[in-house]
Amino acid sequence: MPQANMNGKLAGKVAVVTGASRGIGEAIAARFAMDGAKVIVSARTLNEGDHSLEGSINGVVKNIREAGGEATAVRCDLSNEEDRKNLIAEANRIYGPVDILVNNAAVTFFIPVQDFPERRYRLMQEVQVYSPFHLSQIVMPSMRERGAGWIVNVSSGAARHPKPDSGGRGGTVYGMCKAALERFTTGLASEVYQDNIAVNVISPGLVATPGTVFHNLVSGETHERETPVEHMAEACFKLVSEDPKTLTGRIDYAYDMMDEFKLTAQELPLQPLSRPNG
């Protein structure tokens, strides 16, 4: 098992990662912890079996701690305003002011616009657009006061404009949420540049996670086109380990960052992923 370096580049930093019970969020939380960050691992799934998908925040924390890292699980339903406030309050109480915020959580439904229920539309907007906005509002005053901070929003290729004949599979609402998140990111980056706060977007490409397996986005046939989840974590680590004014206002893909900065993915203590064969 890999061992954490508590004197690494993120030593002393407090990080909050949402949607971290599995997949990309789990990998990001683990990567930060491996380089010394004290990580608040947040999601709705506290224990294995609480959700239909594999993974839990307690499982993520257990693996990080067994590798010598520091992490604490804080359950949070990001569709709930009081939960969002409590998440940051708990981070402050347990570890201190937040240096790094990663907005990774998502609630996704693939339904054509004609049939999309208002309740699910509002839920996706709340979790994927307003929640990153609100959490950023909460952490920014302390970042400004201390003269540094890093905010990373996780997006998707779905934010790109599809061609009319591309044959969409009900991803319009998901794509519009991610497009809004990207515009929020670049706008906020310009607002807080002088405050030494970096705000960036990172997208994974096609990554095998419990979520993508569930939505049939990956299979045995897609394996050669997939981006390892460790690459996503490494790219995200790069964005939060440099001077805030050096890397900010970017909309990047993990595979592009791996090439641009000649990054090498680190081994991470991750929960096992079951995926289809074939």
Inter-axis angle of helices 23-34 and 57-66, nearest 10: 30
Tally of CB atoms within 10 A around 66: 12
193 is catalytic: no
- Helix, strand, coil distribution of the chain in percent, nearest 5: 45, 15, 40
Supply the DSSP symbol for 129: I
**Which of 129, 132, 149 minimizes the C-alpha distance to 141?**
149
| 229, 202 Cβ separation under 8 angstroms | no
Rounded CA Rg of the chain: 18
Tally of CB atoms within 10 A around 196: 17
Q: What angle do CA 263, 265, 266 make, to 5 degrees?
A: 130
88: Cα within 13 Å, side-chain hemisphere: 24
Among 95, 130, 174, 253, the one annotated catalytic: 174
Q: Which residues have C-beta within 8 Å of that of residue 173, sequence separation ≥ 6?
A: 109, 111, 113, 116, 121, 124
What is the DSSP pairing of strand 70-75 with strand 38-43? parallel
What amino acid positions are annotated as catalytic residues? 174
